Amino acid sequence: MPSKQQKIDSVKNISEDLKKFKTVAIASNASLPAKSYNQIKKKASGKAKIDFARHTLLLRALDSKPEYADLKKYLGNGSVLLLSDLDAFKLYKLFKQSKIQAAAKAGQIAPNDIVIPAGETNLPPGPVLTDLKNAKIKAKIQGPKVVITDDAVVAKKGEVITPQVANILSKLGVKPMEIGLEVKAVFDNGMLYEGSVLDIDDEAVKNNLALAYQQALNLCVFAGIVNKDSVVPMIQKASREANALQSLVKEPASN
């Protein structure tokens, strides 16, 4: 158990860190194994610092700066502080991408559909065939190996992972779970963001922006709204329409 002086020093050091970085986040490391925590810390090195201490010590450190009053409510047991000069969105993305694949345990919720593809396995024939059957995976013996004959969805997104499924996933070496630091909230330049707000699919955003741009451009062209983006398509449209009209005028009258 830390001594009184160690606690004082811990609060002092964290308070000093809070002055050095512009962005501060609270994340949960509940049930995160020490090995995985160290791997994530290594991935974030140079981009973000992780301060870990008891809940009460983190609370005292945050008390040193009044602007963190709203951030404090996101503190809980197993919380850590993430400190960085990255903006809120980049900091969230950094730790989202730092998550590590992990084996599934019975009782956990499947984060996505867990699919076992058809094909050869490294499993030797024997009792494992019963394990596969219990997990509703069709398989057969082919030479010295067990072969899965059909793709199998052993757990759908949101379903509870059964002991039978967890057992066979372990034997197949499939790690469908993601573990890491869950960012609860981020304070950046006077703004407080909840983690859920920062969870953005970059590709989806790009596609939506491209679609919105195209729809706006089409509206400008057909409504006759001239701007730097619509002027060329409008000229092209007018040219096509003029050519079509000219073709009609030149077309000889039918007898």
Q: What is the CATH number of the domain that holds 153?
A: 3.90.105.20
Q: How many CB atoms lie within 10 A of CB 141?
A: 12
Q: Read off the CATH number of the domain in which 41 is found.
A: 3.30.70.1730
Does residue 220 lie within any of the structural domains? yes
Q: CA–CA separation, 153 vs 250, rounded Å?
A: 65
pLDDT value of position 128 = 92
The model carries a pTM of 0.69
pLDDT value of position 238 = 82
pLDDT value of position 240 = 85
pLDDT value of position 211 = 84
Number of folded domains that form the chain: 3
Residues 166 and 191 in one domain: no
Residues for the chain: how many in total?
Answer: 255
Residues 164 and 244 in one domain: no
Does residue 136 lie within any of the structural domains? yes
Domain that holds residue 14: 4-99+180-200
Residues 191 and 212 in one domain: no
Residues 187 and 95 in one domain: yes
pLDDT in tens, 218-236: 888 888 888 988 888 888 8
Burial 219-235 (b: 16+ CB within 10 A, else e): ebbeeeeeeeebeeebe
Q: CA–CA separation, 39 vs 114, rounded Å?
A: 25
End-to-end CA distance of the chain: 106
116, 148 contact by CB (below 8 A)? yes
Residues 234 and 172 in one domain: no
pLDDT value of position 252 = 59
Encoded amino acid at 238, one letter: A
Does residue 170 lie within any of the structural domains? yes
155, 164 contact by CB (below 8 A)? no
Q: Which residues of the chain have pLDDT under 70?
A: 1, 250-255
pLDDT value of position 116 = 95
Does residue 77 lie within any of the structural domains? yes
Does residue 154 lie within any of the structural domains? yes
Does residue 106 lie within any of the structural domains? no
Does residue 128 lie within any of the structural domains? yes
